[in-house]
Structure 1
Amino acid sequence: MPGPEVPGVLSAEAAVQTGKAIAVTQLASGAVPWFPGGHVDPWDHVESAMAMAATGLLSEAECAYEWLRGTQRADGSWPLQVRDGRIEDAGADTNFCAYPAVGVWHYLLISGDDAFAERMWPVVRAAIDFVLTAQRERGEIDWAVGESGIPTGEALLSGCSSIHHSLRCALALADYLDQPQPGWEVALGRLGHALRRHPAAFTPKHRYSMDWYYPILGGVLRGEAARQRLFARWSDFVVDGLGVRCVDDHPWVTGAETCELVLSLDALDEHHRARELFAAMQHLRDPDGSYWTGLVYADGKRWPEERSTWTGAAVVLAADALSRATPGNGIFRGEKLPTGLPVENVPCCELEYVPGT
């Protein structure tokens, strides 16, 4: 399997070096912390596992998924934050708990390992069922469930967009294993409806770039509506030659957000812009193949002073999408993913979706 490579920007050898830099951080348990000594959360752990798989480190990636299998709680969730095996935050983030479905489907696409899929299916099924306990009647999903088991009562656009993608991957896995989940199809349709038609359902986070591009990254928007959304605020977030701001009111570009926008652009066939942005963020690369999280460009200082595994992972996944290298390269384009049961003729729609809001 050829490694991800973007000619003139990132060689296959450099991509593999980044995968190995992530693997060096992996603990004996299989957990992948943010950086040595850092905490572990399920979402970023999965992102790192996906990057290791995309760079040929299949045993390391499988070990990461085994950690998920071994630490999943009885209700299907994982703690929001763990450090050195100790729970620091026992609450459950619904987006974090849904994301293993993306990783498991990605690993199956790359490895073709049916035994792995069978082994991980109960994990994905329990996790998705847990996440859907926080779905509201209109379709949005609360961002977290507290230790008491009560949802927060607050839904986030970026998190729900990511869950939208996770549900599609979970349904793809269910179809592959001949395990029909009609309830998930309905839930996906309702969630997509809420995201496209009810922006007021989500807590406003307009200063964050993630809220800007995640409806595209999560497969909620495509075509002209997606392009309108991106280009309406392009100048608010994109800094030529450096990457993407994390927030629109600070001179701070971050590598992961830049690479996620690259993936979003790739999904819209905006390949030239995607490649330009991918090249622009390479100033965050360290000689050992890891990536610094961000740069405060007003004073030229890297901040925070950390080389995060999930930033390196986002780089690898963006490179794979651009290069079409591995069998999992199209996962963020939504290739061959189910779309759920459409929601039609719903009387709740008093507010149309406005691209760019």
Structure 2
Amino acid sequence: MTLPSPGPDATEHLVLPGVLTAEQAVETVAGLLAVQRPDGAIPWFRGHHLDPWDHVEAAMALDASGEHEAAARAYAWLARHQNEDGSWYAAYADTDEDGALPGDRGRESNFCAYVAVGIWHHYLATGDDGFLDVMWPVVHAAVEFVLELQQPGGQIGWKREADGTAVNDALLTGSSSIHQALRCALAIAEEREEPQPDWELAAGALAHAIRSHPERFLDKSRYSMDWYYPVLGGAVTGAQAKERIEEGWDGFVVPGLGVRCILPNPWVTGGESCELALTLWVMGESDRALEILQSIQHLRAEGGMYWTGYVFEGDRAVWPEELTTWTAGSLLLAVAALGGDEATTAVFSGERLPRGLEPDCCG
């Protein structure tokens, strides 16, 4: 199947007052495309490494921008370089050749699961049944790898070491992202009429752990991602979500500048800010989401990409001096959600995603 080419209105939903004009949207998408290698890989920036999670996020941003062929090349890269156990390595060196040179041979569960989110998003954006047929074995193997790390309490161990040793400690952010990925994987299985009851049970147990058992996760509460990701990943909803976000708001949000990465450091980051904006949109708070996105426009650089972060005390400087694809990608996805892009809203709102089967008891 030939994927649809972006037409003149492909980035219309990426125009957002105070965030992106039509010309700026085109410029940012071109910046992402310029970093993508001919083999489809999308490193953080040229000369730096690629990791599977951020590679998928950038591919999703390309789909949200109408660049479906480029996104398909990114997923083809993942399919070619998937390990036999269904995983990918945590990092790959940037190279001008078609290949995958591991820079970190650890295999992180969150990184491996996220491919399901990207593949479902691409399918919703293109309607390409052939793509889904080709990528189903990739998703299936990745999910099976991840679920081998699930603990009796529902949480997901965060990695396997290079030698294969399982690290059973669980990260709340990573497990929350995996929860979203499992629901997308279930949506793919449902579309293919290949039920996966074990995945449903796993997703339900994971949601229960995230929502009710913080003690099952390593304490990373100083990080803003641990604050909002349980909501963004769809495990925490409704009044509980609102309470959670309100509780951390004054600590993490710096008015006019964005969202801190970690407390108490005076450092706001574009990626966390955009993800919080997306979280607020999920909660139905589009006005606050827009304010967050408007507050980080000081991170936009010449050429349309975005600096990773800004230190707002002391030297008051951009730091690190890196224009990362995942920062630009997270902004494009947040804007696409606010702009009503159907594939993006479907993946992040969770309204049409299958839910797992939660345990009957409260253990």
Instruction: Name the TM tier (shorter chain).
Output: over 0.9
Q: How many residues align?
A: 347
Structure-2 separation of matches of 1:227 and 1:248: 21
Structure 2 Cα separation of the partners of residues 335 and 12 of structure 1:
29
Q: Do structure 1's residue 264 and structure 2's residue 279 form an aligned pair?
A: yes
Aligned to 1:301: 317
**1:121 counterpart SS class:** helix
Q: Name the CA distance, whole Å, in 2 between partners of 1:228 and 1:106.
A: 29
Q: Is the 1:95–1:163 contact (alpha carbons within 8 Å) kept by the matching residues of 2?
A: yes
Match of 2:231 among 200, 209, 216: 216
What is the alpha-carbon distance in structure 2 between the residues aligned to residue 12 and residue 169 of structure 1?
30
Residue 162 of structure 1 aligns with an amino acid whose one-letter code is S
Which position in structure 2 is the counterpart of 1:235? Answer: 250
Distance 2:186 2:21 in 1: 34
Counterpart of 1:97? Answer: 112
Structure 1: runs of 5+ lacking an equivalent: 349-357
- Return the alpha-carbon distance in structure 2 between the equivalents of residues 261 and 12 of structure 1: 23
Which of 15, 28, 39 in structure 1 is aligned with 2:49? Answer: 39
Separation in 1, partners of 2:136, 2:15: 31
In 2, Cα distance between the equivalents of 1:12 and 1:130?
A: 41
The equivalent residue for 2:6 is: none
Distance 1:342 1:229 in 2: 21
TM-score by length of 2: 0.93
Taking the aligned partners of 1:12 and 1:132, their CA distance within structure 2 comes to: 42
d(CA) in 1 for partners of 2:130 and 2:23? 30
Residue from 213, 217, 221 that aligns with 1:206: 221
Instruction: Give the aligned partner of residue 21 of structure 1.
Output: 31
Give the superposition deviation at 1:343. Answer: 1.6
Q: Which runs of 4 or more aligned residues in structure 1 lie more than 4 Å from their structure 2 counterparts after TM superposition?
A: none
- Matched residue type, 2:346: G
User: Contact 1:107–1:328 (CA<8 Å) still a contact in 2?
Assistant: no
CA distance in 1, matches of 2:182, 2:225: 19
Q: Which residue of 2 aligns with 1:335?
A: 351
Quote the residue 1:355 is aligned against: none
Match of 2:334 in 1: 318
Deviations 1:22-49 (A, max 9, x none): 1111112211000110101100000000
- Measure how far apart 1:291 and its partner are: 0.6
Deviates more, 1:257-266 or 1:331-340: 331-340
* Matching residue within 125, 147, 156 for 1:110: 125
Deviation at 1:152, TM superposition (A): 0.7
Q: CA deviation at 1:146?
A: 1.3
Task: Name the structure 1 match of 2:211.
Answer: 196
Structure 1 Cα separation of the partners of residues 344 and 249 of structure 2: 28
User: How far did residue 2 of structure 1 move?
Assistant: 3.9
User: What is the alpha-carbon distance in structure 2 between the residues aligned to residue 332 and residue 13 of structure 1?
Assistant: 26
* 8 Å Cα contact 1:35-1:308 kept in structure 2: yes
- Aligned equivalents of 1:79, 1:88: Cα separation in 2: 8
2:86 is equivalent to residue 71 of structure 1: no
Q: Mean alpha-carbon deviation: is it higher for 205-214 or for 327-336?
A: 327-336
The residue identity in structure 2 corresponding to 1:126 is A
Output the CA distance in 2 between the equivalents of 1:25 and 1:301. Answer: 24
Q: Which has the higher contact order (CA 8 A, sep 6+)?
A: 1
Unaligned runs of 5+ in 2: 1-8
Q: Which residue is equivalent to 1:248?
A: 263
Structure 1: how far apart are the matches of 2:232 and 2:252? 16
Alignment partner of 1:50 out of 35, 60, 73: 60
Q: Which amino acid aligns with 1:20?
A: A
Structure 2 residue aligned with 1:176, among 191, 200, 203? 191
Give TM-score, length-normalised by structure 1.
0.95
Distance, in Å, in 1 between the alignment partners of 2:344 and 2:240 is: 26
Distance 1:251 1:37 in 2: 28
What letter corresponds to residue 152 of structure 1 in structure 2? V
Query: Structure 1 CA distance, aligned partners of 2:146 and 2:170?
Result: 12
Q: Which amino acid aligns with 1:248?
A: L
